[in-house]
């Protein structure tokens, strides 16, 4: 970071401190005077509370002594404070045992007699306490009276100090109950503060017992289970109506000191606010004139390498440090009277740390915002532990049933551990813990280990399946998630087995495909090469030459057709074939296809029985491609139908679909696997003596699929039937 950037951030930290303190302390230092502050009101009320019970509402000790009472609970507490009667007698005997023995060893009979007399007296007193309530009641009353007398003596001793405290005030107060009037000074002379107590503003309550003199380090109070006199006789107070003022002519001690502190803090904060305003102005000027130098500063390398949690933790730590030092610094400035030691040094120390925390907090926030704008936050989020934890939790509860079961099982085991610890601390809990352990914990542990065993079964089966080994069905009983997973694994195992079977079949068909393609391409190519060599002979007659050229032409056309069919079926398989659909009359298209092969049909000695609808049958198809489907099926029938038999060609409409059917008796045995007829280069003539590429059915199937239609083949012995359906318009 550049020096100018540090200066800018330092100015910002000063401005922020000024703004925060202005919001907190402006009402106190700019909106009123010292005598309107809470500190002054607290001091004022505290002083009234100190001298009020001594000079205005003093406790009548003699009257309070007459009203003293003793409850049965106090008698019982007094008796048993040191234990039961036996415990107390034993304690007294133990106290004197060693002393009496020493006197006896030293032959001091006088001392021994006195010790025994003193011991017996205490024991008799203990017995009297437990024998007669009246004796205990008298002792308690005597103790209470003694405490009240001591209190009155302390109040009398503090009376002179209370009068000095009163010198800072003037008052005119009337006891609402007794109508007794208490005055001091002149409440009508000019004052710096005045407070009136009445029905509207509230009356002044003054305790009859001074809080500062009501507590004693008195064993009798402890025996009476009282902390002070208020616990013993109650919180007696009286309400007063009137006025209390602080005259300008009075002498002030602590109040004046508070005023000086207020004025000092006021000057400090006004100076801070002015300095903060100047700092904000300087920061604004720098930002306007040197914006590029200030804002565009590189991220510190080690900060840039932190993960999201580290970045956020860094911001949080410096922010907390900034707030703590801010509060501490504010307290020092607002309460200079409460700070001892090196006041100026402490202030400088806090200022340095506050600015350091503030600057680094701002810098980290700017770096983080820059990462968000540069979309680096996406990478931060992806690499963060929070993201990984959320992902792990989502994965853990992807199956909610399993997640809930695990949480429940772990919770029960955790509680079982806590219960076991409780039994160790309190053995009697075994009466409750043992039945719960048998009824709840043992079944839970069994369920947990059963789930673990089921998981191991699945893991072992999966590992074997991954290695290609044969796996028996994994049997897991019940309706748990693992049982369902075992069912899925068994299904997968069956799918793998079928996939392996299909793969073997695919390999076989691929081998046959390569063999058939090689054969069908090599046959015409061999003929072309052979007849080309024959044409090279010079002594060849014209008639032979023309004959050879004719053979070359036929073989070339066959090779061309084979290559074109192969190229077309390849395009269909890859989905690169583009269709140009339009409204086509299927009846007319079928008649054209039959007419195209009329000469071949007549030469084949086959009896074609054609059935077409009386009206036109339209469909939305690519006319050229659909004609190819019909042409391939008709050619297929001409080539592979048994001579002298009938071929049935039918076109009809059924439930909104056009249905084209070709039925014939095949001259070759087809076998039972009809699906293989859809394979490329698959021919009924397995010896491949007939012309053809073996792609006719495959091409027709692909075209029908591209149109969203269906094509099915049925074989019953030598009866061959192919049916093509397409939706009509």
Using one digit for the tens of pLDDT, what is the confidence trace for 415-435?
888 888 888 888 888 888 888
Residue 332 lies in a domain: no
Range name among 254-258, 273-277, 725-729 with the lowest pLDDT average: 254-258
Last residue of a domain, one of 252, 272, 297: 252
**Contacts for 124 with CB less than 8 Å, ≥ 6 apart:** none
**Contacts for 635 with CB less than 8 Å, ≥ 6 apart:** 597, 692, 696
Q: What is the mean pLDDT of residues 631-642?
A: 88
Q: Which residue has the tokens 């915002």?
A: 369
pLDDT of residue 342: 63
Q: Are 579 and 707 in contact (CB under 8 A)?
A: yes
Please give the Cα distance from 629 to 698 (Å, whole number). Answer: 10
Residue 418 lies in a domain: yes
pLDDT of residue 684: 42
Residue 145 lies in a domain: yes
Q: Which of 445, 449, 448, 419 is nearest to 434 (CA)?
A: 419
pLDDT of residue 442: 83
- The pLDDT confidence band at residue 569, using thresholds 50, 70 and 90, is low
Answer yes or no: do 649 and 628 share one domain.
yes
Last residue of a domain, one of 252, 277, 303: 252
Say which DSSP state 675 is in: G
Last residue of a domain, one of 577, 610, 631: 577
pLDDT of residue 118: 92
Answer yes or no: do 123 and 241 share one domain.
yes
List Cα–Cα distances, 446 to 452, 475, 498, 681, in angstroms.
10, 18, 38, 62
Query: What pLDDT, in 10s, does the model give residues 41-60?
Result: 888 888 888 888 888 888 88
Answer yes or no: do 623 and 712 share one domain.
yes
**Residue 649 neighbours by CB distance under 10 Å:** 21
Q: Are 457 and 486 in contact (CB under 8 A)?
A: yes
Q: What is the CATH number of the domain that holds 540?
A: 1.10.287.130
Answer yes or no: do 437 and 523 share one domain.
no
Residue 301 lies in a domain: no
**Residue 461 neighbours by CB distance under 10 Å:** 20
Q: What is the mean pLDDT of residues 500-516?
A: 64
Predicted confidence (pLDDT) at residue 445 exceeds the cutoff of 50 = yes
Predicted confidence (pLDDT) at residue 278 exceeds the cutoff of 90 = yes
Positive or negative, the Cα torsion across 16, 20, 23, 26? negative
Q: What is the mean pLDDT of residues 70-79?
A: 85
What H or E segment, with its residue span, contains residue 380?
helix 376-383
Segments in 426-480 forming alpha helices (H): 430-436, 442-466
Answer yes or no: do 568 and 642 share one domain.
no
List Cα–Cα distances, 62 to 136, 139, 175, 637, in angstroms.
22, 18, 20, 137
In whole numbers, what is the pLDDT of the chain averaged over residues?
Answer: 80
pLDDT of residue 460: 80
Please give the Cα distance from 681 to 677 (Å, whole number). Answer: 9
Q: What is the mean pLDDT of residues 22-26?
A: 87
Residue 36 lies in a domain: no
Predicted confidence (pLDDT) at residue 661 exceeds the cutoff of 60 = yes
> Which tokens belong to 691?
């012309």
Answer yes or no: do 501 and 447 share one domain.
no
Q: What is the mean pLDDT of residues 110-126?
A: 90
Task: Quote the number of domains for the chain.
Answer: 4
pLDDT of residue 242: 95
Query: What pLDDT, in 10s, does the model give residues 284-332?
Result: 898 888 877 776 667 777 777 777 778 888 889 989 999 999 888 888 8
Please give the Cα distance from 470 to 463 (Å, whole number). Answer: 11
Instruction: Tell me how long the chain is.
Output: 729
Answer yes or no: do 445 and 542 share one domain.
no
Predicted confidence (pLDDT) at residue 567 exceeds the cutoff of 80 = no
List Cα–Cα distances, 499 to 48, 493, 507, 510, in angstroms.
98, 10, 12, 16
Predicted confidence (pLDDT) at residue 638 exceeds the cutoff of 80 = yes
Answer yes or no: do 91 and 229 share one domain.
yes
What angle is formed at CA 326 by the lines to CA 324 and CA 331, rounded to 5 degrees?
95
- The pLDDT confidence band at residue 240, using thresholds 50, 70 and 90, is very high
Answer yes or no: do 421 and 511 share one domain.
no
List Cα–Cα distances, 318 to 306, 399, 659, in angstroms.
16, 41, 80
List Cα–Cα distances, 603 to 4, 607, 638, 683, in angstroms.
102, 11, 10, 22
**Contacts for 413 with CB less than 8 Å, ≥ 6 apart:** 441, 444, 445, 448
Answer yes or no: do 142 and 228 share one domain.
yes
**Where is pLDDT greater, at 213 or 359?**
359
User: Per residue, what are the HEC states of 84-115?
Assistant: CHHHHHHHHHHHHHHHHHHHHHCCCHHHHHHH
Answer yes or no: do 659 and 554 share one domain.
no
**Residue 89 neighbours by CB distance under 10 Å:** 17
Predicted confidence (pLDDT) at residue 679 exceeds the cutoff of 60 = no
> Which tokens belong to 724?
């093509």
Q: Are 653 and 728 in contact (CB under 8 A)?
A: yes
Range name among 191-195, 408-412, 694-698 with the lowest pLDDT average: 694-698
Answer yes or no: do 687 and 647 share one domain.
yes
Q: What is the mean pLDDT of residues 140-158?
A: 85
Residue 317 lies in a domain: no
Predicted confidence (pLDDT) at residue 677 exceeds the cutoff of 70 = no
Say which DSSP state 215 is in: B
List Cα–Cα distances, 69 to 74, 145, 232, 507, in angstroms.
10, 11, 10, 112
What angle is formed at CA 176 by the lines to CA 148 and CA 192, rounded to 5 degrees?
95
**Where is pLDDT greater, at 396 or 367?**
367
Predicted confidence (pLDDT) at residue 335 exceeds the cutoff of 80 = no
Residue 537 lies in a domain: yes
Give residue 536's domain range.
Answer: 488-577
């Amino acid at each position: 970071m550049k020096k100018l950037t540090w200066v800018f951030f330092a100015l910002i930290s000063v401005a922020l401190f000024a703004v925060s303190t202005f919001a907190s302390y402006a009402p106190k230092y700019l909106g009123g005077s010292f005598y309107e502050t809470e500190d002054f009101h607290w001091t004022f009320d505290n002083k009234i509370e100190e001298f009020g019970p001594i000079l205005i509402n003093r406790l009548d000790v003699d009257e309070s002594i007459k009203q003293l009472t003793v409850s049965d609970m106090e008698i019982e507490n007094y008796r048993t404070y040191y234990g039961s009667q036996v415990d107390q007698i034993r304690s007294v005997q133990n106290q004197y045992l060693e002393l009496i023995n020493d006197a006896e060893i030293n032959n001091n009979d006088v001392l021994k007699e006195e010790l025994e007399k003193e011991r017996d007296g205490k024991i008799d007193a203990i017995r009297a306490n437990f024998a007669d309530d009246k004796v205990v009641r008298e002792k308690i009353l005597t103790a209470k009276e003694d405490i009240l007398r001591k209190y009155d003596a302390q109040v009398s001793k503090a009376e002179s100090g209370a009068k000095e405290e009163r010198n800072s005030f003037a008052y005119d107060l009337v006891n609402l109950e007794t109508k007794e009037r208490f005055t001091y000074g002149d409440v009508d002379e000019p004052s710096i503060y005045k407070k009136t107590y009445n029905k509207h503003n509230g009356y002044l309550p003054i305790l009859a017992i001074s809080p500062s003199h009501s507590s004693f380090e008195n064993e009798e109070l402890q025996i009476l289970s009282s902390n002070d006199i208020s616990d013993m006789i109650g919180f007696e107070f009286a309400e007063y109506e009137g006025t209390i003022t602080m005259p300008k002519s009075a002498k002030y001690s602590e109040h004046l000191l508070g005023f000086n502190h207020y004025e000092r803090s006021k000057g400090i904060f006004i100076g801070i606010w002015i300095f903060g305003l100047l700092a904000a102005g300087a920061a604004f000027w720098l930002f306007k004139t040197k914006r590029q130098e200030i804002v565009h500063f590189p991220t510190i390398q080690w900060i840039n390498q932190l993960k999201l949690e580290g970045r956020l933790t860094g911001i949080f730590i410096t922010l907390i440090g900034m707030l703590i030092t801010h509060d501490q610094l504010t307290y020092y400035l607002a309460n200079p009277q409460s700070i001892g030691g090196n006041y100026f040094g402490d202030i400088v120390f806090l200022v340095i740390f506050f600015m350091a925390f503030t600057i680094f907090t701002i810098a980290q926030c700017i770096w983080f915002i820059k990462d968000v704008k540069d979309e680096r936050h996406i990478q931060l989020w992806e690499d963060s532990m929070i993201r990984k934890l959320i992902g792990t939790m989502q994965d853990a509860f992807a199956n909610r049933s399993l997640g809930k079961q695990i949480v429940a099982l772990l919770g029960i085991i955790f509680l079982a551990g806590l219960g076991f610890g409780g039994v160790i601390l309190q053995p009697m809990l075994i009466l409750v813990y043992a039945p719960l352990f048998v009824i709840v914990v043992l079944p839970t542990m069994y369920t947990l280990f059963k789930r673990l065993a089921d998981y191991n079964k699945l893991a072992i089966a999966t590992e074997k399946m991954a290695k290609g080994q044969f796996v028996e069905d994994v049997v897991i009983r019940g309706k748990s998630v693992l049982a369902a997973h075992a069912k899925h694994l068994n299904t997968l195992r069956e799918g793998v087995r079928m996939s392996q079977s299909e793969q073997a079949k695919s390999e076989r068909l691929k081998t046959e495909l390569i063999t058939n393609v090689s054969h069908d391409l090599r046959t015409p190519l061999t003929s072309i090469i052979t007849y080309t060599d024959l044409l090279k002979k010079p002594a060849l007659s014209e008639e032979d030459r023309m004959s050879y050229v004719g053979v070359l032409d036929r073989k070339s056309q066959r090779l061309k057709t084979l290559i074109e069919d192969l190229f077309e079926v390849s395009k269909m398989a890859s989905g690169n074939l583009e269709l140009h659909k339009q409204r086509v009359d299927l009846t007319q298209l079928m008649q054209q296809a039959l007419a195209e092969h009329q000469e071949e049909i007549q030469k084949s000695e086959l009896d074609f029985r054609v059935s077409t609808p009386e009206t036109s049958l339209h469909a939305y198809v690519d006319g050229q491609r659909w004609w190819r489907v019909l042409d391939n099926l008709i050619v297929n029938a001409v080539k592979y139908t048994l001579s002298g038999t009938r071929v049935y060609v039918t076109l009809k409409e059924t439930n909104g679909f056009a249905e084209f059917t070709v039925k014939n008796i095949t001259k070759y045995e087809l076998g039972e696997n009809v699906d293989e007829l859809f394979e490329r280069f698959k021919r009924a003539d397995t010896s491949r003596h007939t012309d053809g590429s073996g792609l006719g059915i495959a091409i027709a199937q692909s075209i029908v699929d591209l149109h969203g239609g269906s094509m099915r083949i049925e074989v019953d012995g030598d009866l061959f039937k192919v049916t093509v359906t397409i939706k009509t318009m």
